[in-house]
Structure 1
Amino acid sequence: MMKKYDYIIVGSGLFGATFAYEATKRGKKCLVIDRRNHIGGNVYCENVEGINVHTYGAHIFHTSDKEIWDYVNQFAEFNRYTNSPIANFHGEIYNLPFNMNTFNRLWGVLTPQEAQDKINEQRLESNIKEPKNLEEQAISLVGTDIYEKLIKGYTEKQWGRKASELPAFIIKRLPVRFNYDNNYFNDKYQGIPEGGYNVIIDKMLEGIEVRLETDFFENRSEWEESTLKIVFTGMIDEYYNYQFGKLEYRSLKFENELLNLDNYQGNAVVNYTDSDTPYTRIIEHKHFEFGTQDKTLITKEYPSEWKPGDEPYYPVNNKQNNELFQNYKKLAEQEDRVLFGGRLADYKYYDMHNVISQALQLVEKEFSNI
């Protein structure tokens, strides 16, 4: 029986859009479907008063992979934005990642050696030999002062659990710099696409059939019958009808406010690291593109436990969930007509360059004989 499509791609985020673009280039007929009313997944931007608002939280593209950097630059011009978030602890301002600016503000130290000595002193005082949880892991890496002011409150809000109840492996290492470099990332390439991420997704999906507000699961059999293969970028446990149980996620709620100011906080991202402030950070979107608009739009991020109907953002990669995921992964590996990929299908948090790289690897594997 002749199929209508070669590939139906479920999800129009970076993974789905990259695969659809590459498959179409190779002469394949693709259909992209998405539950939402827009393309782009979590990198979607909404234009408000001339400001490109990162609808689903801050997205800063960064990579050391020149091939991936060149790949995305074919779709958009990138600006020179450098991610330099700051932390607000009860009105005290600190630089992130932890560097000499942070240490000077904390302890008044002036040299890298003084900072190292202070951290080592606190690590020794803690007498933690084998960290049993995130709290002990963090203290054993950076000492008590940094942990109490810049890690504890933020982490507990982010995960909805006490740091002493979180597994140590969540913080395998913490970036500590003994210089005055405020650049959060170490990658060679970094920036924001001029005009927002929609520019990239729009070009990737140009000329490809897209259906929005379309739920794969509502007409699953129909989609399966009309295509040779499916590329699934959604939740892998949902694909298998939660037969082994539901994987856990953390979700986010966003509170936007358009202000009649030209500058609210002077930085794109400010983390609130105390436990009393209910949100984890405030994003001021115009700073991503060095905006000069008369108004500004800020977003407060409130982490929450995921429940059906919410957007799943962060997989809770503890031992229990990772073991559960392996059951689903074994099923996925047995499929011959379904290809899985992306953050939700792999139950793993990916940066954007990882998602694109993974999609291109799948393309290479899928079309190696063409």
Structure 2
Amino acid sequence: MTMYDYIIVGSGLYGAIFAYEMKKIGKKCLVLEKRGHIAGNIYTEEVEGINVHKYGAHIFHTSVKETWEYISQFAEFNSFINSPLANYQGTLYNLPFNMNTFYKMWGKATPAEVDAIISEQRKEIKDEPKNLEEQAISLVGRDVYERLIKGYTQKQWGRPCDELPAFIIRRLPVRYTYDNNYFSDRYQGIPIGGYTKIISKMLDGIDVKLGTDYLDNREKWNQIGRKIVYTGAIDAYFDYCYGPLAYRSVRFETEILNIPNYQGNAVINYTDEIVPYTRIIEHKHFEFGTQPSTVISREYSEEWQPGMEPYYPVNDAKNDEIYKKYKALADALPDTIFGGRLADYKYYDMDKIIELALKHVNEEQVRKLE
């Protein structure tokens, strides 16, 4: 009764790459997607001639030449450089923390002056940091923490910084140069025409079923597929037998404005708690758009509840222990491959997803030769 070599659950970047690579070597794949569109969270849809990042900003960046060349075969990338701003009580600061940020904050123009201020403020934390607040101050000092970290982080995680574990902020990039390039990767940009076109090319000639949740009828799909590639939430796969894992979710308020330019930048973070959203994305700036109107999205961070879309895993000690139990169950299933952000309960940038998918593809091909 088997009709497919692989039933691939999810049409995001990981699932699409797996399907594309397996099709190249003659394997028959079926992709199941519970949403009404392909591409997962990197889905872009055209609105007013603008490619809107439906599930939040996705800016591709990598330092691995092979990864850049791999994704570039599916699209031409523009020269977009991520240079976000932070709005704290109406004052704009450059991100990441660099000499432009510090000059705006303290009026100091030399690295030595700035380093002296930060070094003095770091002394406030004398012992090993016990929470995120102490960790942040120990890295960048009180002023930067209060204006650019505290409010944003508390909105993002839904709890006070002194109740969050220190390991969430293991490091904070501080640059003593006037450089607003957020990423230090050699290669970065936005695919011209949006990400959906990339996934569409990957899935060309492959059977895809939209609006289909694998978990609603897994027995049926298991019967017609030799192997399952699962990219959904690992706790849902095992019916939450060890309890649900915690996630943060994001709610988007997207608005079309009949003006050519709303904020002059693709990304502006709002770092004080008075403003309820974490940031505003103006999508046209990702592709240097000149359309007469513009589209903005306000992002609100929320505690995940069943039925909501999980975005960011809460990788604290409690949840990591629960995940280990689910991982043990997954490892015991030789005919199911788990991969991706939700299946691995781990946040991945897009370049790392590409590398992970290709790694699993290669491992699968090696097994065939053994």
Could you tell me which residue of structure 2 aligns to residue 342 of structure 1? 340
Could you tell me which residue of structure 1 aligns to residue 7 of structure 2? 8
TM superposition outliers: structure 1 runs of 4+ over 3 Å: none
Q: Per-residue CA shift, 1:162-207, capped at 9, x if unaligned?
A: 0000000000000110000100001000000000001110100000
- Partners of 2:61 and 2:212 lie apart in 1 by 31
- Partners of 2:32 and 2:249 lie apart in 1 by 23
> What secondary structure sits across from 2:211 in the alignment?
coil
Could you tell me which residue of structure 2 aligns to residue 288 of structure 1? 286
Question: Structure 2: any 5+ residue segments left out of the alignment?
Answer: none
Could you tell me which residue of structure 1 aligns to residue 60 of structure 2? 61
- Partners of 2:293 and 2:175 lie apart in 1 by 35
Amino acid at match of 1:364: N
Amino acid at match of 2:311: Y
> What secondary structure sits across from 1:358 in the alignment?
helix
Could you tell me which residue of structure 2 aligns to residue 118 of structure 1? 117
Amino acid at match of 1:22: E
Could you tell me which residue of structure 2 aligns to residue 260 of structure 1? 258
- Partners of 1:357 and 1:235 lie apart in 2 by 20
Within the candidate set 269, 272, 293, 2:270 is matched to 272
Alignment of 1:345-364 (within 5 A): 345-364=343-362
- Partners of 2:125 and 2:167 lie apart in 1 by 19
- Partners of 1:184 and 1:205 lie apart in 2 by 32
Alignment of 1:93-104 (within 5 A): 93-104=92-103
Q: How many residues align?
A: 368
Q: Is the 1:267–1:284 Cα contact (8 Å) retained in structure 2? A: yes
- Partners of 2:219 and 2:142 lie apart in 1 by 56
Could you tell me which residue of structure 1 aligns to residue 106 of structure 2? 107
Amino acid at match of 2:344: D
- Alignment partner of 1:299 is 2:270: no
Q: How far apart are 1:217 and its partner, in Å? A: 1.3
Amino acid at match of 2:57: A
- Alignment partner of 1:200 is 2:198: yes
Q: Is the 2:125–2:137 Cα contact (8 Å) retained in structure 1? A: no
- Alignment partner of 1:188 is 2:186: yes
Within the candidate set 306, 315, 318, 1:317 is matched to 315
Question: Structure 1: any 5+ residue segments left out of the alignment?
Answer: none
Could you tell me which residue of structure 2 aligns to residue 218 of structure 1? 216
Q: How far apart are 1:127 and its partner, in Å? A: 3.3
Q: Per-residue CA shift, 1:287-317, capped at 9, x if unaligned?
A: 0000000000000000000011110000000
Could you tell me which residue of structure 1 aligns to residue 40 of structure 2? 41
Q: Is the 2:249–2:312 Cα contact (8 Å) retained in structure 1? A: yes
Amino acid at match of 2:250: L
Q: How far apart are 1:93 and its partner, in Å? A: 0.4
Q: Is the 1:280–1:303 Cα contact (8 Å) retained in structure 2? A: yes
- Alignment partner of 1:161 is 2:150: no
- Partners of 2:341 and 2:270 lie apart in 1 by 26
Q: Per-residue CA shift, 1:36-89, capped at 9, x if unaligned?
A: 000000000010010000000000000001101000000000000000000000
- Partners of 1:253 and 1:20 lie apart in 2 by 30
- Partners of 2:21 and 2:289 lie apart in 1 by 33
- Partners of 1:30 and 1:292 lie apart in 2 by 40
> What secondary structure sits across from 2:227 in the alignment?
strand
- Report the identity percentage: 64
Q: How far apart are 1:219 and its partner, in Å? A: 1.1
Q: How far apart are 1:129 and its partner, in Å? A: 1.7
- Partners of 2:135 and 2:310 lie apart in 1 by 27
Q: Per-residue CA shift, 1:239-280, capped at 9, x if unaligned?
A: 001001100000000001100110000000000000100000
- Partners of 1:315 and 1:73 lie apart in 2 by 29
Superposition TM-score, scaled by structure 1 size: 0.99
Superposition TM-score, scaled by structure 2 size: 0.99
